Chain A
Amino acid sequence: METSFTLAGLASQLLVGLSRAMILFIVSSGLSFILGVLRVPNVAHGSLYMIGAFAAHTIAVAFEGSAAGFWLAMLCAPLVVAVISLVAERLLFCHLYEREHLMLLLFTFALMLILGDLTKMTWGADYRSIVAPPLLQGSVPVLGTAFPRYNLFLLMVGPLVAIGLWLLSTKTKFGKIARAAAVDREMVGAIGINVSWVFAFAFVLGCLLAGLGGALVSPTISITLGMDHSIIIEAFLIVTIGGLGNIWGAMVGSLIFGITQSVGVLVLPQFAIVFPYLAVVVILTLKPTGLLKSVW
Chain B
Amino acid sequence: MVKNILRTPSFLWTAAVLLVLLLVPFIAGRFYVYILAVIFVWGLLAMSLNLLVGHGGAYQFHHGAFYGVGAYTAGLIITKTALPAWIGLCAGPVAAAFTGLVVGAFCVRLNKLYFGMLQISLGSLIWILALRWYSLTNGDDGIHGIPMPDLLSGSVPAYYFILIVVSVCLALMYLILKSPFGATLRAVRDNPQRCQAVGINVRRHQLLGIVIATFFAGVAGVLFVVLEGSVFPDMLFWVLSLEIFIMCLLGGWFTFFGPMLGAAIMVALRTFVGSYTEYWTLILGVVLILLIFFLPDGIMGINFRTWLRNRERRRSTDVVR
Listed in ascending order, the chain A residues whose CB lies under 8 Å from chain B are 39, 41, 43, 92, 95-96, 99, 101-103, 106-107, 109-114, 116-118, 120-121, 229, 233, 236-237, 239-241, 244, 270-271, 273-274, 277-278, 280-281, 284-285, 288-289
Contact = CB atoms under 8 A, between A and B. Distances in A.
B193 interface: no
B286 interface: yes
Interface in B99-123: 106, 109-110, 112-114, 116-118, 120-122
B117 A236 contact: yes
Given A103-B292, A103-B296, A106-B292, A285 B106 contact: yes
Contacts of B133: 271
Given A101-B113, A270-B132, A106 B118 contact: no
B279 A280 contact: no
A132 B209 CA distance: 53
Contacts of B292: 96, 99, 103, 106-107, 110
Interface of B: 53, 59, 106, 109-110, 112-114, 116-118, 120-122, 124-125, 128-129, 132-134, 237-239, 242, 245-246, 249, 278-279, 281-282, 284-286, 288-289, 292-293, 296
Contacts of A117: 279, 281-282, 285
The majority secondary structure among interface residues of chain B is helix
Given A103-B292, A106-B249, A288-B109, 13 more contacts: A92-B289, A102-B245, A106-B245, A112-B285, A113-B288, A240-B117, A244-B113, A273-B128, A274-B129, A274-B132, A277-B128, A284-B121, A288-B106
A284 B118 contact: yes
Nearest to B53: A102
A236 B118 CA distance: 10
8 contacts: A106-B245, A110-B286, A110-B292, A117-B279, A229-B239, A270-B134, A280-B121, A284-B121
Contacts of A233: 120, 124, 238
A99 B253 CA distance: 15
A280 B134 CA distance: 22
A244 B278 CA distance: 36
Contacts of A111: 285, 289
